[in-house]
Chains A and B, each alone.
Chain A
Amino acid sequence: MTEPLLSIEDLTVTFRTRSESVRAVDGVSFEVYPGETVGVVGESGSGKSVTMLSMLRLLPRTSRVITSGRALLNGKDMLRASRRELRRIRGREVALIPQDPMTCLDPVLRIGGQLGEALRAHSSVSRDEQRKRAVELLASVGLPQPDRQYGQFPHELSGGMRQRVMIAMGMANNPSLLIADEPTTALDVTIQAQVMDILREAQAETQAGLVLITHDLGLIAEMADRVVVMYAGHVVETGEVNAIFAKPRHPYTVGLLGSLPQTGGDQDWLRPIPGSPPDLARIPTGCPFHPRCLHSHGREICRTQLPQLTPIGSDSTHRTACHFSDELADESIHGLLTVAQEIQ
């Protein structure tokens, strides 16, 4: 087996404020291999963005953050990298394609300048070369008039165009890992597909690994090879995308899948999971999902013991953290859960 590109091991991230401490990520581990796409799914507040941003060491600096564990990128622990090392790694080995292209480009600088900055950060190129390469990049992400967009300001571009610019910027130094944080949520539905195509092409071209953070299961089904499902800072289920979609073994995953709009037939509505994600300062004891779980039936172990992520049967890639995952092997239960969700 090849070496993983990114290996996150037992990552824990705690935010400290004056009065309380919030554990946003708790003991998260997973790997990303070269060329593969890993989808990280969860509701907002599940810790999926914090996991990746803490790996990049790009969490906002306003709060006190305590991280433990390791995040090995090409064998190098990002959590312990020096400023200088970070500078060398960011942009060149790993690039971030952020959530909201509206706020992620510097509003007072031309597109060309911002792209040029990314190019200059890792190679010494002449001004002409830099311009040529920037325009090429803009063309490669399908911008209609790359020469013109080079000299434009962000506010002169549409949201979809800006996200293309962000992708071009991410690809500027051919990184081996791309992290796309909800890359399409801020965009129109019609634009979303185009942007994802661009992203896929870019990835295919460079054979980069891709971490796709999203709450959109449809996107995962379309793009991802493997899935990591997160809830309240924990990984609750992980496995190949087919296994997760066909045979989910965690009530939360079942709930997420059940909440997908059923197009076709008469079931064209959303069934949200009842309740809301926990306050991270007050995560429930035991399994963090138990207060919302439709499968727990008030069993004591769910309230008292944190379930560990364990492989399911012989399939070592499919793992879940539920005390009663065996019961979920019976697929008729899924139907029951879905119906229960509907009633609630």
Chain B
Amino acid sequence: MSGLIAYIVRRLVTGVITLVGVVAVVVLMVQALPGDPARVIAGIQATPQQVAKVRHTMGLDEPVTVQFWRYLENLLHGNLGISARTGDPVSSLIGTRLPYTVELAILGTVFGVIFGIALGVLAATHKGKITDALASMVGVAGVSMPVYWLGILLIVVFAVDLKLVPVSGAATLSSLILPSVTLGVFSMAVVSRMTRATMLDTLDQDYVRTVRAKGVAERVAVRHALRNAFIPILTVIGLQFGTLLGGAVLTETVFSWPGIGQLLVASISSRDFPAVQGIVLTFAAMFVIVNIITDLLYSVVDPRVRLY
């Protein structure tokens, strides 16, 4: 058990190092703004005094290394700076909206994983048949689908024409369905493709033949094959989570979902860079955490995996 804890600590440390790198990127990002960053952030109509104030509060008048260390130091205190647009602390802006994004991301992943695995298993067990062809079509269509277009199509069909669910917002439970499906379709496609490929391999393994030789129902053999296919599947779930977060920005915009993705777009449009920095950092942190979790799940799924 202590080995496991050591492993978690090690993963957390590399995760933190990655995030420190991300901090460097977001600090440099503001430096890289064309012309005078303070001017850009304060806005074109800003008076020289306002520009000076922005420059000072954001520490833009100091060397970039100092800015980097200050950002890290503030981050440790949970301080992500002040939104240039609203004047609120960025941390509280993110705090109120993050739960919505997390909710959406979880539901999208759950939808994608459940249907993706089901589709992949169906395709692998019916290889070469019409079911397989259909599942493969769904898979390639899913990875080619622009989420924003899919979202609008779903709104038009289910909310406008059929009036089954609300058009936008996060007021009711049913308002969750369309955004989750929209966001989850890409994951579903990726997971189904991976599941099919891995299952085709595991279904032909000797241990599955052993199971069949015992005289059990075919679904028992399929279950063995699936359990053994889980590691690659878990890995894609972790990896595609990044894409899912990118999709969340677009999905939230389409559905007016009050998460940090929508906030990010609004912040970019209004050149609110302190907010952009904080949100980007939050997204990166979510990705890092999810991948640590999937790594830990490896050892749950496969007893041979020694993490430490």
Contacts and interface: CB of A to CB of B under 8 A. Distances in A.
User: Is B truly associated with A?
Assistant: yes
Interface of A: 56, 58, 60-62, 83, 86-92, 95-96, 98, 100, 103-109, 114, 117-118, 121-122, 153, 155, 166, 169
A107 B216 contact: no
Tell me the interface secondary structure of chain B in the complex: helix
Given A108-B303, A117-B220, A89 B210 contact: no
Interface string B285-308: 000000000000000011110000
Contacts of A166: 210
B169 to A, nearest CB: 44
Interface residues of B, number: 26
Contacts, number: 82
A117 B205 contact: no
Given A91-B215, A121-B216, 19 more contacts: A56-B213, A58-B212, A61-B127, A90-B212, A90-B215, A91-B214, A98-B206, A98-B209, A98-B210, A100-B206, A104-B209, A105-B210, A106-B207, A107-B302, A107-B303, A108-B301, A108-B304, A109-B224, A121-B214
B228 A106 contact: yes
A194 to B, nearest CB: 21
Contacts of B215: 86-92, 121-122
Contact of B213 (A61, A95, A106, A109): A95
A118 B224 CA distance: 13
Interface in B179-212: 200, 203-212
Contacts of B207: 103-107
Please name the 7 residue pairs, one residue from A and one from B, whose CB atoms are nearest each other, closest first.
A91-B215, A90-B215, A103-B206, A91-B214, A96-B213, A106-B207, A104-B206
A155 B303 contact: yes
A90 B204 contact: no
B270 to A, nearest CB: 51
Contacts of B127: 61-62
Interface of B: 127, 200, 203-218, 220, 224, 227-228, 301-304
Contact of A61 (B204, B227, B303): B204
Contact of B217 (A87, A91, A153): A87
Contacts of B211: 106, 117
29 contacts: A56-B213, A58-B209, A61-B204, A86-B215, A87-B215, A87-B217, A88-B215, A90-B212, A90-B215, A96-B213, A98-B206, A98-B209, A103-B207, A104-B206, A105-B210, A106-B224, A106-B228, A107-B207, A107-B302, A108-B301, A114-B210, A117-B214, A117-B216, A117-B220, A121-B216, A122-B215, A153-B303, A155-B303, A169-B214
A236 to B, nearest CB: 28
A118 B214 contact: yes
A174 B213 CA distance: 14
A117 B213 CA distance: 11
A92 B211 CA distance: 13
A88 B151 CA distance: 50
A100 B206 CA distance: 8
A103 B205 contact: yes
A182 to B, nearest CB: 12
A121 B210 CA distance: 13
Which of B200, B205, B208, B212 is packed against the most chain A CB atoms within 10 Å? B212
A88 to B, nearest CB: 7
Contacts of B208: 106
Nearest to A95: B213
Nearest to B231: A108
Nearest to A62: B204
A180 B181 CA distance: 51
Nearest to A105: B207
Contacts of A105: 207, 210
B163 to A, nearest CB: 46
A187 to B, nearest CB: 15
B304 A155 contact: yes
Nearest to B207: A106
A107 B218 contact: no
A117 B200 CA distance: 23
Contacts of B220: 117
